[in-house]
């Protein structure tokens, strides 16, 4: 693909007007990588993760984990994490407020130390997102919860299994609960959980670490362990990045081949692309060709939790469909 891009700290200028053609490899999913990186605090064994994207949130997570005592070695897209040196159960404001995903430190810290003091998170360009479902879960698990001076303080006297139903479907709420319960001996039940591929990627890792997790519908049954082991895992492809490249090709009338893409995670997006008149052709299980077949057709979109149409693809589709007018 050829384009001209210049940038400074304040401006990103793109000179387009040409068809996008060529092939591009889809990165590993940031939203899968972050909770899996936090899972390294649940064990004193080494955890090895491949296909980790080099993004600001990933770097900030590495910084936070190092502050807590995790030893991290990175080579390219591979990251090795050793959590046996974790002794700190409080996360500092200066790093936590850079990213919303830092809230995922709550579950592992509470499971490991029976206490956690985590600064309220930031870093979401969409706007503020409440963490009440996280706190309701931890409260139901027997933890005392105190929100004061920009921090959430949690403490639990005895870890025990829990049965809990989320009021709404929440991705990070589900992940925090799974991280915590995997380190709690006994059988726990979570209802109305999120089913995003990134959540299932975390389930795969926690199972490899020794927890037993069975998901049926929106219910998960977790049999945790007091001591969890290390893991080796490859992060799933980023379905939002893949969808964004697909839309970019459609907008410009070009032809793009995506490498390392998982179409089974993109059902709703592919369905709407094809409805709009865009060909999505699987060349191989992880290789896809995308091209526009003619004029774009109008669409009706409604975002919803997975497996519905993702909110993070709404803006791209709006830009694509605006080209029709």
Last residue of a domain, one of 205, 234, 263: 234
3-state helix, strand, coil in the chain (%, to 5): 35, 30, 35
Give the percent of the chain with pLDDT over 70.
Answer: 94
Mark whether 121 and 197 lie in a shared domain. Answer: yes
pLDDT over threshold 80, residue 191: yes
Distance of CA 251 to the CA centre of its chain: 27
pLDDT, averaged across the chain: 92
Mark whether 253 and 311 lie in a shared domain. Answer: yes
Active site residues: 124
Mark whether 107 and 225 lie in a shared domain. Answer: yes
Report the alpha-carbon angle 236-163-225, nearest 5.
60
Q: Tell me what pLDDT residue 93 has.
A: 85
Task: Give me the residues paired with residue 74 across strands.
Answer: 79
Mark whether 219 and 266 lie in a shared domain. Answer: no
Q: Tell me what pLDDT residue 293 has.
A: 86
Mark whether 74 and 188 lie in a shared domain. Answer: yes
- What's the pLDDT tens digit per position in 53-74? 999 999 999 999 999 999 999 9
Mark whether 174 and 269 lie in a shared domain. Answer: no
Name the domain count of the chain.
2
Binned at pLDDT 50, 70 and 90, residue 165 comes out as: very high
Domain range for 314: 4-26+238-322
**Separation CA 309–CA 18 (nearest Å):** 28
Mark whether 114 and 82 lie in a shared domain. Answer: yes
Mark whether 50 and 180 lie in a shared domain. Answer: yes
Mark whether 128 and 251 lie in a shared domain. Answer: no
Mark whether 16 and 63 lie in a shared domain. Answer: no
Mark whether 199 and 243 lie in a shared domain. Answer: no
Smallest CA-to-CA distance from 198 within 34, 26, 24, 25 is with 34
Supply φ then ψ for residue 94, to 5 degrees. -60, -30
Instruction: List the CATH number of the domain containing 87.
Output: 3.65.10.10
- What's the pLDDT tens digit per position in 115-129? 999 988 754 333 345
Q: Whole-model pTM?
A: 0.93
Q: Tell me what pLDDT residue 129 has.
A: 54
Mark whether 218 and 258 lie in a shared domain. Answer: no
Bridging pattern class, strands 255-259 and 287-292: antiparallel
Last residue of a domain, one of 179, 202, 234: 234
Q: Tell me what pLDDT residue 135 has.
A: 96
């Amino acid at each position: 693909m050829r384009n001209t891009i210049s940038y400074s700290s304040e401006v990103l200028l793109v000179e387009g007007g040409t068809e996008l053609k060529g092939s591009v490899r889809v990165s590993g999913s940031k939203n899968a990588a972050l909770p899996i990186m936090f899972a390294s605090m649940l064990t004193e064994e080494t955890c090895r993760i491949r296909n980790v994207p080099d993004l600001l949130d990933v770097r900030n997570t590495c910084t936070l984990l190092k502050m807590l005592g995790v030893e991290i070695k990175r080579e390219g897209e591979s990251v090795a994490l050793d959590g046996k040196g974790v002794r700190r159960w409080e996360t500092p404001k200066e790093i936590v407020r850079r990213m919303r995903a830092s809230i995922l430190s709550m579950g592992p810290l509470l499971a490991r130390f029976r206490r956690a003091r985590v600064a309220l998170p930031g870093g979401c360009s969409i706007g503020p997102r409440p963490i009440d479902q996280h706190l309701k879960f931890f409260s139901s698990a027997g933890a005392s919860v105190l929100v004061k001076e920009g921090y959430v303080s949690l403490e639990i006297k005895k870890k025990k299994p829990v049965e809990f139903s989320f009021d709404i479907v929440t991705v990070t709420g589900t992940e925090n609960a799974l991280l915590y319960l995997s380190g709690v001996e006994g059988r726990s039940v979570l209802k109305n959980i999120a089913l995003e591929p990134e959540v299932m990627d975390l389930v795969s890792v926690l199972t490899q670490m020794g927890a037993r997790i069975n998901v049926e519908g929106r219910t998960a049954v977790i049999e945790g362990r007091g001591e969890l082991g290390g893991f080796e895992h490859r992060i799933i492809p980023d379905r939002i990045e893949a969808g964004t490249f697909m839309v970019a090709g459609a907008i410009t009338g070009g032809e793009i081949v995506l490498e390392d893409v998982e179409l089974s995670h993109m059902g709703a997006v592919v369905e709407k692309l094809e409805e709009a008149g865009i060909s999505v052709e699987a060349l191989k299980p992880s290789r896809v060709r995308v091209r526009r077949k003619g004029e774009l057709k109008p669409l009706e979109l409604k975002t919803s939790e997975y497996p519905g149409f993702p909110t993070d693809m709404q803006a791209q589709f709006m830009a694509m469909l605006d080209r029709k007018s």
